Amino acid sequence: MTPGFVGKLSREYDPHQSEQETLNWWSTNRTYQKTKKKLVKRPKFYFLDGPPYVTNAPHVGLAWNKTLKDIVIRYYRMKGFNVHDQPGYDCHGLPVEVMIEKSLNLGSKKDIENVVGVGRFIADCKRFAEENVQAQTRVLKNLGIWMDWDNPYLTYKDDYIESVWWTIKRAQEKRLLYKALKVVHWCPRCETALAGYEVTDEYRTVQDFSIFVKLPLVEKPGEFILIWTTTPWTLPANLGVMVHPDKPYVLVEVDGDKLILAKERLEQVLGGRSYKTLEEYQGRELEGRQYLPPLQEETQAQIGADRHRVLLSAEYVSMSEGTGAVHTAPGHGEEDFEVGTKYGLPAFSPVDPSGRFTKEAGKYARLSVRDADRVIIEDLKAKNLLWKEETIEHSYPHCWR
C-alpha cells in the first residue's frame, strides 16, 4: 500500500474502489464548493451546457461530451475565472413524449386525449424524465465531472419556461419579432415540424412515382410545358413552373404532342423517340407565359389571379434531371416558397397536420397525401395530361421517430 491524497492506494488498481474513494474525499472535504468559493470574486466565465435529451440512460456519447466540457471548465477555473457551470437537461417535447407513447402502445397523437388522458400522460412524461435525469447525473458525477449538480436547469420546470417567455417578451419590446410563413418539413404521425438536422440525418432510399405532366399554354392552344415530379400529391398546390433564364428551351413535336422543355434534356426525356424541333428560345423568353392548372376542375381553390405562369430561377432549375421546367408548389417546398414569394405567389398548402388533404383540395379532401398519388395520376390520365409514368428510386426525408 502507498499513501495518497485520498488515503492509502492499493498496488493493484481497482477502478471502482479508486473512483469511490476519490468521490468520497471530494464530498467529505467539500472540494468543489471550496473551489467555487475561492473564485467567487474573480472575473466571470459563463459556460452554457447544451442539454442532453433524457430519453434513456447515459451512453458513451454523453460521457464523451460532458468530459470535453469538464476539460474546458477546469481550464478556465485554473486560469482563475469564476465559472458558471450549471448543467442542463432537455426534459420536454417529442423525444420524451414518443418514449411514453411507445410504452403505452398509442397509435396516434389523438390517443393521448381519447385513450390515456392528458393528465396521466404528462405525469408519466415527468416521471420518465426525472428518472433519467437522476440516472445521467449519477453516472456523470462518477466520471468526476465538476458541475453544479445540485442546481441543474430542467426545461419542463416553470422557472425555465418563464425565462423563455421573458426572452420572447424582450424580443417583442425590441421589435425583433414578425409574423410570416415558412415552409418546413413535417411529420404527419407526430404532427409537428422537423428540425433541419433531423431531416438531414434521416434520408432513406424509397420507390416513388415518376411522372411527366403536360401543362396546356393559355395563349397557344395545342402547346404544352412538360414538367416532371416524383410527388404527384403536390400537384393540387401547383401555382407556377420554374425555368432557367440562361438555358435554351425548345418546342418539339413528338407523337403528335407539342412540348416545351430544356434543350439539354431532350435526349434523356424523349428516350430515343423521333421528334421535330419547331422553335428554340432562351428560358427568360418564357417568363410570364400562362398555363392551365392540370387539376383545375378537381381543386378549384388553387385558381387565382397571376398564378400558373412561368417563373425564372437560375438557382433551382437543374439540367441533370427532369425536363428543365420545374413544377412549383410554394406551399410544399422551401425552394418553391422562396421563388414563389419573389413572384408574389401565396403558400397554398391544402394539407392538415395529419397529412390529409383539407376541403381546399376539392375532390381529394380527407385523402392521405400518399394515398392520393394514384388518384391524381388517374385523373391526369383521363384528361390526356399524363405524358409518361414511371417509378424511381430516390432519397426521401423521413421522421427519425
What pLDDT digit, counting tens, does each position of 275-317 carry?
999 999 999 999 999 999 999 999 998 888 889 999 999 999 9
Q: Is the pLDDT of residue 268 over 90?
A: yes
Domain 39-173 and domain 203-397, same fold? Reply is no
Q: Does residue 360 have a pLDDT over 60?
A: yes
Instruction: Write down the pLDDT at residue 5.
Output: 54
Residue 53 carries which DSSP code? B
Mean pLDDT computed over every residue of the chain: 92
Cβ neighbour number for residue 99 with a 10 Å cutoff = 20
DSSP string, 191-218: TEE--HHHHHT-EEEEEEEEEEEEEEBS
Per-residue model confidence as pLDDT tens digits over 146-196: 999 999 999 999 999 999 999 999 999 999 999 989 999 898 888 888 877
Q: Residue 10: how many CA atoms within 13 Å on its side-chain side?
A: 9
- In angstroms, the CA 210 to CA 328 distance is 16
d(CA 341, CA 11): 73
**Which of 234, 276, 242 shows the shortest CA–CA distance to 259?**
276
Domain 39-173: assigned CATH number:
3.40.50.620
Among residues 353, 315, 309, the alpha carbon closest in space to that of 334 is found at 315
Question: Can you give the residue ranges of every domain in the chain?
Answer: 39-173, 203-397
Number of separate helices (H) and strands (E) present in the chain: 11, 17
Given a cut of 50, is residue 1 above it in pLDDT? no
Domain 203-397 CATH superfamily? Valyl/Leucyl/Isoleucyl-tRNA synthetase, editing domain (3.90.740.10)
> Which grid coordinates belong to 371?
394515398
pLDDT at 129: 95
User: Taking 80 as the threshold, does the pLDDT of residue 198 lie above it?
Assistant: no
* Residue linked to cell 424580443: 171
Give the span between the Cα atoms of 95 and 53, in whole angstroms: 7
pLDDT of residue 101: 93
* Closest C-alpha to 188, from 334, 351, 353, 350: 353
- Calculate what percentage of the chain has a pLDDT beyond 90: 80
Model confidence at 376: pLDDT above 70: yes
Return the axis-axis angle of helices 118-142 and 60-78, rounded to nearest 10°: 60
Give the helix ranges, DSSP H, for 104-143. Answer: 110-111, 118-142
- Reported as type and span, the H/E element at residue 187 is strand 186-187
The DSSP bridge partners found for residue 276 are 253
The residues, any chain, with a CB within 8 Å of residue 243's CB and separated by 6 or more, are 249, 262, 283, 286, 287, 310, 311, 312, 313, 317, 324, 325, 326
Integer Cα distance of 241 and 102 in angstroms: 43
Q: What is the pTM of this model?
A: 0.80
Q: Is 273 exposed, middle or buried (0-12, 13-18, 19+ CB in 10 A)?
A: exposed
- Residue 96 · residue 190 · CB < 8 Å: no
| Rounded Cα–Cα distance for residues 174 and 325 (Å) | 43
Cβ count near 269 (within 10 Å): 22
Answer whether residue 2 shows pLDDT above 60: no
Neighbours of 291 (CB within 10 A): 24
What are 25-39's pLDDT values in tens digits? 999 999 999 999 999
Neighbours of 334 (CB within 10 A): 13
Instruction: Report the candidate in 371, 373, 396 with the shortest Cα–Cα distance to residue 386.
Output: 373
Question: Is there a contact between 330 and 340 (Cβ–Cβ < 8 Å)?
Answer: yes
